[in-house]
Amino acid sequence: MYGKCFVRLDKSTNARRSKSEKYLYQDANYNVIRRGCKVRLCVDKDFDEIGEQMVVRFSLRDGQISKLVPLNQNELETPTNKSFTLKQMSIKTEDSLYCTILIGEDELVGMWEIDIRGRNKVGDTIYSNSVSIFLIFNAFNEKDPTFVEDPSFVHSYINRQIDAVCYMTNEESSKPYIKQWDHSQFSREGVDVVCDLLHKLAKTKYLACDDRNDVVRLTRRLSYCVNEYLLFGDWKKKETEFNGKEIQPSRWQSSKDIFKRYLDDGERVKYGQCFTFAPLFTSVLRCLGIASRTVTCSNAGHDTNGSLVIERRLIRTNNGDVRSEQSEGIWNFHCWTEVWIRSKDIFKRYLDDGERVKYGQCFTFAPLFTSVLRCLGIASRTVTCSNAGHDTNGSLVIERRLIRTNNGDVRSEQSEDDLGNEFDGWQVLDATPQEVSDGLRQCGPYPVKALYKGEINLKYDGIYIFSQMNADVVDRILEFDESSGIYTDKGYSFDENHSHVGGMIVCPAKEYPLTVEDITLQYKPEEGTVEERQQYYKALHSTQGYSYEHPVAESDQNNAPNAAGQLIKIKTNSKAMSIGDPWQIEVSFSNFSANYIFSRYDVTVNTNDTNHDIYKIFDISEDMKLLPIRKTTKIFTVEAREYLVDNFTNNLIFIIRVETTNLQTNEVFLNLY
């Protein structure tokens, strides 16, 4: 025999408890519920008594994940799994009852189906219809990583539907203007699109359903989904070339229009650019209950190799023409998305990942170790010392190196690791398809607080994000001989104006979305200050391609426009040596051509004394053969007796001159350091 029951959702109670009243088209069959909240079910039945084997089944739509809650008065307040607990069951009438189930604070987000299965007391098989709940993050719950305290914050960055995108014009990049944007995050179309993106992640195995409770992994993968499945990017078409269903990127003003087009056509919508991707991604995140906002940065850098230097190649021809050839550049402006996330509990992250948690400092290591010791029953406590010294050589002396420059400035150079507070709060995400990260076009999340401190080696994509708002510019001068087709590298010219990359960083204002809020100082100190340079150099020193002599990655320096020409690069140990130590000079000679080059090099070192007289202190010449498409490195040593000239002071200038002469063509190549 079979028995049947009919399940309905108590829409008004559920929406009120979850503060999800704004989501549209909720009814007895579909509700939006926040994690950590209760869901109330109404059950109409055609049998007398509930059996001990009857359960409410919660099934995640995209995966083989089901969680069962026994409909048994004896099971009240007893969690039968990690996330669902029967809190209340009451008889309404002879043929109906109410049951209230608490959903766990760390449950998987997405669409869940709810039905009833089992047997009644006489052994009849019981089944029911199914209803759906869209489970989202809970910014109102202190235990949720998306929690925010300020109610106005929730209103502005989760609930506000009519928002804006900030644009910058070529003529007045310092004066952004506002374009209205309708997020439609509470629309059924928005919910359906988010569910479809989650389904695609599960299908492609880019994000396992079990990981949907991890807001960091989830938002990172969604930044990929938006450009891979939802919106197609285009930066080449002219206004007259768009036809049919192709929409010019600047004409979009609503996420709902993109959602509907995607659901109707079942394919990626055409077209978008950063000012479309960013607000669209903001809509997706708000639909999931996560505080987010769209940010715009003027003069945004595009650094492709992680050097924090934007290289502009200037090609100079025989007739005096100059053209620019570059893979890196500076965009007039770029938009990305910020999301509000708190850090997770350390022990949980370790148990989940099975590997060392990133990252900690003394104020994290000490209490963590105290916890481990107390767990072992060992009395322990955490101690703090102000102005703590860091003696690296056992001398009981802290050495501070003071650097005096020609213009009289003095700076201190020493090891510092004071990171300050944890990096909770705004995190940068970018859904615009640009560089590949971990095999996918995804970017972030990365803490804004870490960027401000020049910390760029955390997860994820800190170097690339930092370069968008703070990078230096270098011009690489290449001379092209049209008759021979050969490029000659003439070295680098650094732009002394460090403010060319990353101007204003703005977003719609918290109180009034159609006005602009300047948040530049949340990302970096004021341009032109010592603090801004310190932030940049702290970040620069931690890049893989950094060298003290030249802040351009070697892979970038050796990337000539074609396989012809010659490049000389000079490095020294001057930053690490003390006066009296040997001075080592490393010179690399790169041959970009497909032929052997027979040449003579001449390395000289000159200095001047306080009377500005020039002295040659080192000179060596030798013939050499450069192999095709290879780099040859020579190391020269200048002894202390050679560079310790009369009237030696710290203000002396040493000039290293490396000249090579091609013995076949008599061409001369020169580099100075």
Query: Which pLDDT value is given to residue 613?
Result: 61
Listed by start position, the domains of the chain span 2-136, 151-343+456-541, 344-382, 563-672
- With a cut of 60, say whether residue 258 has pLDDT above it: yes
Strand 583-591 relative to strand 566-572, pairing: antiparallel
Cα torsion angle, 277, 110, 19, 260, sign: positive
Query: Which pLDDT value is given to residue 213?
Result: 93
Strand 329-341 relative to strand 425-429, pairing: antiparallel
**For residue 63, what pLDDT band results from cuts at 50, 70 and 90?**
confident
Element (H, E) at 287: helix 274-287
Query: Which pLDDT value is given to residue 75?
Result: 60
- With a cut of 80, say whether residue 26 has pLDDT above it: yes
How far apart CA 305 and CA 14 sit, in angstroms, is: 50
How far apart CA 292 and CA 158 sit, in angstroms, is: 7
Token pair belonging to 471: 């990078």
Query: Which pLDDT value is given to residue 420?
Result: 36
Q: Look at the block and give the residue holding tokens 């010179």.
A: 587
Tell me whether the omega of the peptide bond preceding residue 262 falls within 30 degrees of 0, making it cis: no
Greatest mean pLDDT among 43-47, 301-305, 603-607: 603-607
SS3 of 552-572: CCHHHHCCCCCCCCEEEEEEE
* Identical topology for domains 2-136 and 151-343+456-541: no
The lowest-confidence range among 20-24, 54-58, 141-145, 624-628 is 624-628
Residues 223-248 have a mean pLDDT of: 87
Residues with Cβ within 8 Å of residue 610, at least 6 apart in sequence: 647, 649, 651
Which of 308, 303, 295, 294 lies closest to 330 in space, CA to CA? 303
How far apart CA 572 and CA 603 sit, in angstroms, is: 13
The lowest-confidence range among 305-309, 480-484, 544-548, 566-570 is 544-548
Query: Which pLDDT value is given to residue 53?
Result: 74
* 248 vs 367, higher pLDDT: 248
- With a cut of 90, say whether residue 259 has pLDDT above it: yes
Query: Which pLDDT value is given to residue 545?
Result: 55
Residues with Cβ within 8 Å of residue 98, at least 6 apart in sequence: 10, 40, 41, 42, 43, 88, 89, 90, 92
Residues 534-548 have a mean pLDDT of: 71
* 276 vs 657, higher pLDDT: 276
**For residue 391, what pLDDT band results from cuts at 50, 70 and 90?**
low
Residues 196-222 have a mean pLDDT of: 94
Token pair belonging to 165: 């995108």
Query: Which pLDDT value is given to residue 351?
Result: 53
- With a cut of 70, say whether residue 357 has pLDDT above it: no
- 283 contacts 226 by C-beta, under 8 angstroms: no
The lowest-confidence range among 120-129, 151-160, 279-288, 491-500 is 491-500
Query: Which pLDDT value is given to residue 400?
Result: 47
pLDDT digits (tens, 9 = 90+) for 72-90: 766 666 555 567 888 888 8
CATH fold, domain 151-343+456-541, is Coagulation Factor XIII; Chain A, domain 2 (3.90.260)
Q: How confident is the prediction for the chain on average, in pLDDT? A: 80
Query: Which pLDDT value is given to residue 331?
Result: 84
- With a cut of 80, say whether residue 122 has pLDDT above it: no
Q: What are phi and psi of 539, to 5 degrees?
A: -70, -45
Q: What is the DSSP letter of 104?
A: P
How far apart CA 584 and CA 638 sit, in angstroms, is: 6
Does the domain at 2-136 match CATH 2.60.40.10? Answer given as: yes
Give percent of the chain above pLDDT 90: 39
The lowest-confidence range among 46-60, 379-393, 421-435, 526-540 is 379-393
563-672 CATH pick, 3.40.640.10, 2.170.190.11, 2.30.110.10, 2.60.40.10:
2.60.40.10
pLDDT digits (tens, 9 = 90+) for 557-568: 444 333 334 667
Element (H, E) at 657: strand 654-662
How far apart CA 230 and CA 281 sit, in angstroms, is: 10
Query: Which pLDDT value is given to residue 533?
Result: 81
Greatest mean pLDDT among 200-214, 277-291, 437-451: 277-291
* 500 vs 275, higher pLDDT: 275
The lowest-confidence range among 140-154, 177-191, 220-234, 325-339 is 325-339
- 88 contacts 71 by C-beta, under 8 angstroms: no
- With a cut of 80, say whether residue 377 has pLDDT above it: no
Exposed/middle/buried for residue 4 (C-beta within 10 Å: 0-12, 13-18, 19+): middle
Query: Which pLDDT value is given to residue 232?
Result: 93
- With a cut of 70, say whether residue 402 has pLDDT above it: no
**For residue 219, what pLDDT band results from cuts at 50, 70 and 90?**
very high
- 156 contacts 511 by C-beta, under 8 angstroms: yes
Query: Which pLDDT value is given to residue 564?
Result: 35
Which of 254, 442, 191 lies closest to 336 in space, CA to CA? 442
**For residue 644, what pLDDT band results from cuts at 50, 70 and 90?**
confident
Residues with Cβ within 8 Å of residue 243, at least 6 apart in sequence: none
- With a cut of 70, say whether residue 209 has pLDDT above it: yes
- 70 contacts 126 by C-beta, under 8 angstroms: no
Distances (CA, A) of 507 to 151, 463, 511, 513: 19, 22, 12, 9
Greatest mean pLDDT among 341-355, 375-389, 445-459: 445-459
The size of the chain, in residues, is 673
- With a cut of 90, say whether residue 215 has pLDDT above it: yes
